[in-house]
Every structure is written in structure tokens, then in C-alpha cells.
Structure 1
Amino acid sequence: MQSYDIKQERRNDGATSSTRQRERRLTYPHVIEDVVVGLGDDVEMLATHLVEDKGPRVVYIWGMGGSGKTTLAKQIFNYKKVKCYFDCFAWVCISQQCDDTTVMKEIFMKLCSMSDEQRQGIANLSNEEIAERLCNFQRDRKCLVVLDDIWALDAWNSFKGGISMNEETESRILLTTRNREVASLARGNNFLYESRALSADEGWNLFRKIAISEVNDPNSQIYSKKEELGKSMLQHCVGLPLAIIVLAGLLARKDTIDEWKTVHKNVDVYIRRGTDLEQEYKGQNMKVLHGSWHLVMTTYHIA
């Protein structure tokens, strides 16, 4: 918003555009992606860390936006080994301008089965009161708390008082972040996982499942040409899952080879745009992410 001099608008009820932005970013652990590629071994490894008796208290999943952090967290959250081990579960999305007291109350209410009256009582607690109750509850039970998309170090520090870090606790925290500072805290009895780019084969497998209809005969000339064009375009996605999904979703609506050729002809121009956002990650991947969305918006004439 600062880069493009965008002002924060307020609705009639006083809510800011950031509130609406957080509502659009909400993720739900029960909404599982139809196509998931290349995560099986990682899910097993991280799930094992979470259920170990002397395992890490906090597991950090770090990577740039669109690298599949939330998808991986969902797979772990719903993994049978994890579901059988923990007693209580909470999945909370963190906004860019999060309120620590609100976050802790949300975690506590999701971990506990409460009546409406009890929920009202929690809503009236102060920051110190909810932090103490939440911390004690995690010490007494085996809880898994997922904090999805922590943007800033200050946000994480603000509600750590409600997170049980006691050596004897069997509760665990799984968090996702795109922030290097937050990820740098993963030391001692914590574990850091860095999301990785998909290999060429994994990227093609993901792309193919979305972009090419199952009715296409793999031995046909149409399939062969789409494979040739698709693999060429995938080079611009540098293994970034979101970029692959966006590109594949666009091409899934295009049946003819001529339509695919049109996208192929312009994909490099669109993907190489978005240099204003490059500084955050100091790399090519942010260009890919921004460029992929630009490709979709331009093709469909979305304002």
C-alpha cells in the first residue's frame, strides 16, 4: 500500500480495508486442495517431529508467498498420526495488523468446547487473564495450535505469552511465515522447515493435473503439443506452486493449441513484470508470483 500510495478506506461501520483484506485471506484446515504434489515425505517428517515426546515445541514453516506453506500445514493438521496424538486443535489465521488479545481468545475458544455463556466470559477477559488461561490449558492437555501466516516479528512476540513453552508440555505450535526474522527464532528446542521449489517433474505433474483434461489422449498430437508448450512456460514459474497453479488454471479454460500458443507467446512479458515487489525477497520468485496474477488479470480483463 505504501509503494503504490494507496489510502486505507473505511466502511460505514468503521472497518478498514485491512479488515476486509484479512477476511479474504482466511484459510480453513478442512478445505483441502484437490491437487497436492511433492509433499508426502515432508508431511510425514514434520508430523513425526510434532508427535515426538521430546520433539520441538514450535515447528516453523518458512517461505515466500505462494510457496505452499499453508497447503503443507493443512496436510499436517489433517494427518492421521497427528489427529490421533493430540486432544485439542486450533487453526488461526494471523492478519498483518493482528490484535494479540483477540488471537489468544480465538485460539482458546477453538481448543475448548464452550457454551455461548462461556464464550461471552472469555470475550470479557483482559490480555493477561486470557494469556494465563491459554497457557495453563496447553500445559494440561495435548494441544496443536496452527498459526497461519505470521507477517511480523512483533505479532509473534505479542501473543507468545499465551503459548506454553514449558519443557514438560505435550502441546505443540505449528506456524507458517514469510518473514525471515520470525523464522530466525527457530533455534534451541524448535524446528525450522524451509518450503522448497518443486522439481521439474513435480511441477509438470501439478500443472498437468490442472491444465490438461483427462480426456486428452497422452499419445495424441494435441497432448504432445500442450506438453511441449506447458513445459516451456513452466520454466518461468521456477517451481513456485502458486505460480504453477495460476498458470495451469488459466490454461485449463483454453482447449485449442492456438490459445495455448497465445499464452505462451506473452507469458514471459507478464511474468517479468512486478519489479517493485522484488526487494522484499531479493529474488526472481516474487516477480513470478506477481507476474502470474498479472497474467490472469490481463487475460480476463480484470480491473
Structure 2
Amino acid sequence: MQNLGVQKVIVNEESLLVKEREMRQTFSRDEEDHLVGLERNVERLVGYLLEGDSSQVVSIIGMGGIGKTTLARQAFNHGKIKSNFPGLAWVCVSQQFERKCVWQTILQQLWPECDVSKMMEGELLEKIIRVLETEKALIVIDDIWREGDWDLIKHVFLPRKGLKVLLTSRNDEVALHADKQCVPFKPECLTSEESWDLFQRIAFPIKDTAEFKIEEDMKEIGMEMMKHCGGLPLAIKVLGALLGKEYSLHEWKRIRENIKAPTVRASGSDDRNFNLKVYGVLYLSFEELPAYLKQCFLYLASFPEDYKIDVEKLSYYWAAEGMDFDGASIREVADGYIEELVKRNMVISKRDVDTSRFETLQLHDMMREVCLRKAEEENFVQTIDTMANSESPCKSRRLAVVRLPEETFNVDTEVKNPSLRTLLFIKNGELKTRSLFFTRHQLMRVLDLSFAKFEGGKVPSSIGKLIHLR
């Protein structure tokens, strides 16, 4: 981003432990726009969950982008579910997680008055079991990947009447491992008619009539491009949002020619050719972004999978990188950028109920794959998220330390790049740092020490040498 003299020194906010524990939870919103082909599936799924004598575990299985989380969200927020289950909890597991965080999130939602911040695993386990013994509950475990992951968290799900567990996963073996009597639910890709219906709702939103009018030539081109979406709702929404911003036949033809299948890391469980076509659509959605939005979008590669990104903090990061304000406030500009990304279906957002301002952002797994791929291609940011991943020297000018639980992190020994401009600490667990001496990183412009714990409790005096902090 261009340096435009934006003012902000250090983003250093006091952390709220419980709030941070919730940051890996996916959204369970009460509303979902553009539901096509889901109505019957929602009712069937709700029926399975309400069957008292059936299996304790119900699973939604399918490839990425098919709408597993959307379907689970609709069931979770269904009136019949809310009236039947006094206890409701939603937690995302994903590929990297900590059992303690998962149990904290579950207990916090089942028992909001309970302070979970200082509880150890044994106490969390005891209290969750106690709550589940006294009330009917539905617990959604979203995006669980491996059988071993279930084994780590299963101790709270003792067999008992009144408890239902809803799993979403790409791996059907996970559900069967959790419960041999599991009820599997496998959403199908949208039909051609349903795909076109959803596409029109996104590309040509008309509030006053259910009729969508489109030129025959554009329809033919649109239908041709729709084949790349493979009936996946996510890809259809992204394509619809992309084409909805281009109103000429010439532009539609140009986009048709530009849809290509980039080389991406495809899931081993999905058909590779199909996967590449879908990613081609998602990849193009990035390429069609204006330059300033590309920079903002790539910044999201700094955050771990399923992380709920705080918009207030993100806006300060963007500002320090040189976001163009043109007389407006930091939040006004940031909200405008986020609004554009939301309309393009590239990010998932959550708004504050009272102010309607954006509160958090999240990336869908497949869109995050595009973000990571492009960030790697452009050497935009490097992340250190495990002990084995700290392969310095860091060639990027941006570094995000994402996950080093119970480990000491020393900037001078771990980071060799004297040209480092941005250093962010983004935690899941406790982060300890032995020392942070910045004598070799005097070009630093963006620095977030929110989760850094200094030896002796004192900030190193060498931080005063960072005269370029924004």
C-alpha cells in the first residue's frame, strides 16, 4: 500500500480472554440471504435433530463450498430447534484447534453467566457434563476434519437422552467414528435451474418483482460460465456478484475468456478437475478487484483458519499501511472497503446489532485458499503458526506470529529480515516472549503487541528506536 501519512502508532489493546476464545467460532446468524434449494433440506435436517430415539449424532457431509455451514446455521436458528433445545452451542474446530478453547466456547454458550477464562480442562469437562445432565441441548461442531479431532473433544458428549450433536465435515469417516448410528446428511450440488435462479438473485437483485430480465446473449454467456461453478453455492454467489458489477455484453465476454483454472492446493477428497474449475471462478474474483481492494483482501492472509477478525483492529492495520482516507475517518473508509468485499461474496461479515457497523470478518475455507495462494505468489505476508513453521529468514516485509502456545518467541533470533515493516502477534493460546529488541528492525511501521508478554513485564526500551511507526 502507498504511504499516505496515515496516523496511528501502535495497536496495543487489552485482550479479553473469553472474546478471543470465541474468535474461532463460525457465525450462527439468524438471517441468510439468497437461500436456493435449501428449504427442503433444512426441514429434513430439523426433523432428524428432533427425533428423540434416533442417533445422538447427525452429520452434514460434503465438499467445500456446498453449503454445509449455511445449512447447519439455518437448522441451528430454526424456531422448532430453539423451542426444543434450551441449551444451544456452536463451535468451529477446523484443522488446528485447542481442546480447552473448544470446551470453553461450549460452556460459555450453554452457561453464559459462567466465567470460563481461568478454568482448566478438568473443571470445564465437569461443568459441561453437569449442564448437559440438567437440560436438553444441541451442540454444533462445525468444520471438523479428522477422527482424531473428535477423540480429543468427545469426553463432554456422554450418551444421554436430550443431547444432540450436529457435525459438519468434508470427511464422512469422522461422523461414523463419532457414532456408528450417525444419521448422515449429504447436500447435493444445485441443479442447473437452481444454480441459474441463485445466480440471477445475486447478479440482478430486483426487489419489486420476482421476474429477472436478461438479454439472451448475456444469458447464454452466463450459463456457459455457470458450468465452472459446478453447482456450488459459494462459487455461484461469487460469480454472480462479479458479473453483477459489469453490465455490458462486452465485459461479460471478457470475463468469460478470463475464467481459468489456476494451480491450487486441492483437497484430496475432491475431484481435482472439478475443484480447479471452481477455484478458477474464485481466483478471477480476486483478479477483478481494484488495486486498493486487492491489498486489503491479501492482508486477511495474516489470520488463521476460521478466525473472526476484529474489524476495528483491522482498520488500524490498513491505516498504518497507507489506506487512502480522502478526508474520512479510519472506520468509515474501512467499512466502505469491507462493504465492497461483502457484496462480492468474498468475505463473511457480522454487524453490530445496535450500530449496524461491521464487527468481525471471516473467510470461507475456499476463498481463504485463494487469499493464501495470492499472498504467497506476491510475497505479501509470512506467517509463523507452528514451531515447525518458523523457517526464517522471512523474505516478506510483513510477518504474523499466529500460534506459538507455551513457546518463547524472540524477534532477533526468529526474524532475520531487517527490512521488516509489519509485525503482528495473533494468538490462540498463551504467547510468551523472552525479549523483543528492535535494534535491527528500525523500518517497522505496523506493530501489534496486544498478546506479547515481556520478560519482567517491561516493554524493551529499544522500541523507542522505531521512529517509522504509523
- TM-score normalised per structure 1: 0.81
Find the counterpart in structure 2 of residue 133 from structure 1: 127
Greater mean alpha carbon deviation, residues 202-211 or residues 228-237: 228-237
SS in 2 for 1:244: helix
Q: Does structure 1 conserve the Cα–Cα contact (< 8 Å) formed by 2:147 and 2:177? A: no
1:128-207 aligned within 5 A: 128-166=122-160, 169-185=161-177, 187-207=179-199
Q: Does structure 2 conserve the Cα–Cα contact (< 8 Å) formed by 1:58 and 1:191? A: yes
For structure 1, the 5+ residue unaligned runs are 1-10, 14-19
Find the counterpart in structure 1 of residue 283 from structure 2: 294
Amino acid across the alignment from 1:177:
S
Find the counterpart in structure 2 of residue 229 from structure 1: 221
Give the superposition deviation at 1:277: 1.7
Give the superposition deviation at 1:40: 1.0
Q: Name the CA shift for 1:134/1:182 in 2 (closer, same or farther; >3 Å).
A: same
Q: How many aligned positions are there?
A: 275
Structure (1 or 2) with the greater helix fraction: 1
Give the superposition deviation at 1:223: 3.0
SS in 2 for 1:277: coil
C-alpha distance in 2 between matches for 1:248 and 1:72: 20
Give the superposition deviation at 1:53: 1.8
- Structure 1 vs Structure 2 CA RMSD: 2.8
1:76-115 aligned within 5 A: 76-114=75-113
Amino acid across the alignment from 1:252:
G
Find the counterpart in structure 2 of residue 64 from structure 1: 63
Give the superposition deviation at 1:275: 5.2
Give the superposition deviation at 1:113: 3.1
Find the counterpart in structure 2 of residue 6 from structure 1: none
SS in 2 for 1:251: helix
Find the counterpart in structure 1 of residue 395 from structure 2: none
Q: Name the CA shift for 1:233/1:138 in 2 (closer, same or farther; >3 Å).
A: same
Q: Percent identity?
A: 33
Q: Does structure 2 conserve the Cα–Cα contact (< 8 Å) formed by 1:229 and 1:260? A: yes
Give the superposition deviation at 1:190: 1.7
Greater mean alpha carbon deviation, residues 125-134 or residues 90-99: 125-134
Amino acid across the alignment from 2:243:
L
Q: Name the CA shift for 1:82/1:219 in 2 (closer, same or farther; >3 Å).
A: closer
Find the counterpart in structure 1 of residue 257 from structure 2: 265
Q: Does structure 2 conserve the Cα–Cα contact (< 8 Å) formed by 1:186 and 1:192? A: no
Q: Name the CA shift for 1:41/1:186 in 2 (closer, same or farther; >3 Å).
A: farther
SS in 1 for 2:266: helix
Q: Name the CA shift for 1:134/1:252 in 2 (closer, same or farther; >3 Å).
A: same
Q: Name the CA shift for 1:132/1:198 in 2 (closer, same or farther; >3 Å).
A: same
Picking from 268, 274, 286, the partner of 1:279 is 268
Give the superposition deviation at 1:109: 1.2
Q: Name the CA shift for 1:12/1:219 in 2 (closer, same or farther; >3 Å).
A: closer
C-alpha distance in 1 between matches for 2:210 and 2:168: 40
Find the counterpart in structure 2 of residue 247 from structure 1: 239
Give the superposition deviation at 1:274: 2.9
SS in 1 for 2:143: strand
SS in 2 for 1:243: helix
Find the counterpart in structure 2 of residue 8 from structure 1: none
SS in 2 for 1:210: helix
Write the deviation string for residues 15-45 of structure 1: whole angstroms up to 9, x where unpaired: xxxxx9x95x752112532111101111111
C-alpha distance in 2 between matches for 1:189 and 1:279: 26
For structure 2, the 5+ residue unaligned runs are 1-10, 14-19, 295-373, 375-470
- TM-score normalised per structure 2: 0.54
Picking from 216, 224, 238, the partner of 2:230 is 238
Find the counterpart in structure 2 of residue 55 from structure 1: 54
The structure with the largest alpha-carbon Rg is: 2
Q: Does structure 2 conserve the Cα–Cα contact (< 8 Å) formed by 1:218 and 1:224? A: no
Give the superposition deviation at 1:135: 2.2
Q: Does structure 1 conserve the Cα–Cα contact (< 8 Å) formed by 2:57 and 2:179? A: no
Give the superposition deviation at 1:278: 5.3
Greater RCO, CA 8 A, separation 6+: 1
User: Does 1:123 pair with 2:112?
Assistant: no
C-alpha distance in 1 between matches for 2:112 and 2:124: 16
